[in-house]
Amino acid sequence: MKKLTSLILICLTLSALLCGCGEKAEEPKEYIGIISAMDNEIDLLLKEATIDRVDTVADVRYHVGTLRGQPVVITRSGIGKIRASSGVTTMLLNYPISKVIFTGIAGGVADEARVLDEIIATRLVEHDYGILSNDGFAWRSGDPGFGNEPGAYYECDPQLIELAYASAVEVVGEEHVFKGTVATGDQFIANTEYVQKLRADYDAYACEMEGAAAAVVCIKYDTPFIVIRSLSDKADGNAHESYENFGDIAAEHSSRIVLKMLDALEK
């Protein structure tokens, strides 16, 4: 009987040890969410990261792991406001995200900003939100004081703005980094006249297709966010050619700024 009891105890001990070996490692309490529209905008980040798993939600892949010692969730949402807002919403609903970094490329609007310069968004605006009548298009200003009405300006997190700016200066030099408004709309802008309008109406430094949509979601979920844009073109008549020549380089610059930001954060 004693031998049987000992044997049972040994089996139970071995079973407990085996179960313990199979337990999942404790996941971080919070992740940094990194999102972009296109593959080339996150290629470098994924190469540098240690990916523990890839979750697929609604045909979008969320890469969960660590990057420069920071717990991260990295995803490519797809191009445009709908896909960006869907990607950020899914990320915030499925993972404990402490902050969101939207990284990628854009068209330059400000005269002083050149191709491959960096724009750190201080605020974002939906330039294509408004009323189209026989008198033309009228942008709806919304209520800037409230901050998340359509047509309003969506303010980025002040601390993330300064962190992104300092990191960008380290990567490309101070003379190539600007802080300012980024205008978002569901068009690839390649029109000099419209570029001038974006500058005049919104004091925009860059135009792209996702940032404001991501900002709206982050504001609604009370999550700090920043948008970092590297200029691949000047959004003028030569925009397509410039994008083809400089798109990948601009995307890599933007990714290197994100790496610098992660290095600067507390581990």
Contact 104, 213 (CB under 8 A): no
Would you call 41 a catalytic residue per the annotation? Answer: yes
Residue 152 is inside which H or E element, if any?
Answer: none
What DSSP line would sit under 199-251, residue for residue?
A: HHHH-EEEEESSHHHHHHHHHHTT--EEEEEEEEE-SSTTHHHHHHHHHHHHH
Would you call 30 a catalytic residue per the annotation? Answer: no
Catalytic residue among 208, 210, 233, 252: 233
What DSSP line would sit under 43-65, residue for residue?
A: HHHHHHSEEEEEEEETTEEEEEE
Q: How many CA atoms lie within 13 A of 257 on its CB side?
A: 38
Question: Which residue carries 């071995």 as its tokens?
Answer: 14
Contact 67, 261 (CB under 8 A): no
3-state secondary structure of 109: coil
The CA distance from 114 to 232, in Å, is: 9
Active site residues: 41, 233
